[in-house]
Amino acid sequence: MAKDSASEADRVELRVLRRDEWDIWYDTLIRAFGGVPEAAEERELWDSLTELDHSLGAWDGDVCVGTAGAFSFRLTVPGGAVVPAAGVTMVSVAATHRRQGVLTSMMRRQLDDVRESGRSLAILTASEPEIYGRFGYGVGTFQVSTEIDTTRVRLSVPPGTDDVGLRYAVPADVLDVCEAVYARKVSERPGMLARLPGWERLGLLDPESEREGASPLQCVLAERGGEVVGYARFHVKPEWDASGAKGVVRLRDVQALDPAAQAALWRFLFGIDLTSTVKAYARPVDEAWQFQVSDIRRCAVRVRDGLHVRLVDVGAALQARTYQAPVDVVFEVADAFCPWNAGRWRLSGDAKGASCERTTDSADLSLSVRELGAAYLGGVSLAALGAAGRVRELRQGALAEASVGFGSVVAPWLPHGF
């Protein structure tokens, strides 16, 4: 049986995607995720954003049996620097070719390509989180979803909220000013993506098939002194029962330049006429509204994984960020999938900068590249990973020192999927 599987794997050819293959390649991806066709506008967007040079197809003869792509992103890391990262995406293997080494071969080729391109990081969102740990990815950010009963929950707002004016606007007409707000926020939170041309269209996608009976996309701007200081994009789904209106506000995105503008937008969402619920998905775990509500239990908060992070070049990645407290630690790193990372690395850094070089000095901490990826953006504590048995302390005090240094003042967060 093993011999047959090996011969089938040998028959599969892995190659860079050609323009005339995109439709077949994308249809293979869609089938792997259930086969429900996407709206034409969504398909067209992903077609325009696909980077052919960074996309792979696995072919069994003329049949596409595997897909994998990568976007050229710029990712905010602790300290505010925005660094190149490969956004791994559109990964699938046909059900007919599972457990034949197709995925492993695509991951191998992809990480080799990322390294050759000089990018030190690869990131992804996982449909099945258990898949990617064996390739060195660790869960680096978490996100909150909520369903707030706005008939029972009140919102306390900070001083200055009443100075913020709100107005409705057509989402497409104010895209530029909304993107300007977003761009000013990028450096403030690790995990955020600096949007390259074309990606601004993602926030305007609004296929009717995905509204589930809700309104077309709506937008409200927050303004102060003639300047746009925030925005919210959302849908409203009217619902009624014998007792009256019970509509639902489905939040797509909200960004603001200061706490008062943020509070003004959330207060507006809480108070939309004929609604009783605000649903929000994939929000930061430390977002302010959670500490302004009168009853967090009536907000049905749920936490799940967000961005998975892989250090492709340990030295370059660790010195690309800063550290909130001085760190001088030697890591013994295990990395079976990318063996060029394996061995000892001395990291020395603080809030001004860092260096990370090979060393023969005795190790202070022992861990795999997966744990470094989890801790990299500052949202997962090395000490917590140590308590889970995933980091081994070899020098007393080294784990606490590194944990404090790796932390982030604000929780890392991925603002949108890819």
- Please answer whether residues 7 and 69 qualify as being in contact, where contact means their C-beta atoms are separated by less than 8 angstroms: no
- Please answer whether residues 205 and 235 qualify as being in contact, where contact means their C-beta atoms are separated by less than 8 angstroms: no
Q: Tell me the one-letter amino acid at 113.
A: D
128 labeled binding residue: yes
93 labeled binding residue: yes
pTM: 0.94
pLDDT tens per residue, range 259-278: 999 999 999 999 999 999 99
- As a dihedral over the C-alpha atoms of residue 278, residue 284, residue 285, residue 291, rounded to 10 degrees, the angle is -60
pLDDT at 11: 85
Concerning whether 406 is annotated as a catalytic residue, the answer is: no
| Residue 1 pLDDT greater than 70, yes or no | no
pLDDT tens per residue, range 65-103: 999 999 999 999 999 999 999 999 999 999 999 999 999
Residue from 331, 285, 341, 334 nearest 121 by CA = 341
103 labeled binding residue: yes
| Residue 338 pLDDT greater than 60, yes or no | yes
Give the model's confidence band at 235: pLDDT under 50 very low, under 70 low, under 90 confident, else very high. very high
The residue annotated as part of the active site, out of 73, 132, 376, 406, is 132
- Quickly list DSSP for 68-87: EEEEEEEEE-TTS-EEEEEE
Concerning whether 182 is annotated as a catalytic residue, the answer is: no
pLDDT tens per residue, range 253-264: 999 999 999 999
Residues 348, 292: Cα–Cα separation, whole Å? 39
Q: Taking the CA atoms of 360, 365, 367 and 370 in sequence, report the sign of the dihedral they define.
A: negative
Residue that the structure tokens 């293979």 belong to: 28
297 labeled binding residue: no
Rounded to a whole number of angstroms, the distance between the first and last alpha carbons of the chain is 37
H or E segment at 148? strand 142-149
Residues 326, 353: Cα–Cα separation, whole Å? 10
Mean pLDDT of the chain: 96
Provide the 8-state DSSP code for 353: E
- As a dihedral over the C-alpha atoms of residue 47, residue 49, residue 53, residue 59, rounded to 10 degrees, the angle is -30
Give the model's confidence band at 9: pLDDT under 50 very low, under 70 low, under 90 confident, else very high. low
Domains annotated for the chain, with CATH where assigned, are: 12-119 (3.40.630.30), 155-292 (3.40.630.30), 314-372+387-406 (3.30.1050.10)
CA distances (Å), origin 114, targets 39, 56, 71, 149 = 31, 13, 11, 45
Q: Residue 310 forms beta bridges with which residues? A: 122
| Residue 234 pLDDT greater than 70, yes or no | yes
pLDDT at 340: 98
Q: What percent of the chain has pLDDT over 90?
A: 96
pLDDT tens per residue, range 320-334: 999 999 999 999 999
pLDDT tens per residue, range 123-181: 999 999 999 999 999 999 999 999 999 999 999 999 999 999 999 999 999 999 999 99
80 labeled binding residue: no
368 labeled binding residue: no
| Residue 416 pLDDT greater than 50, yes or no | yes
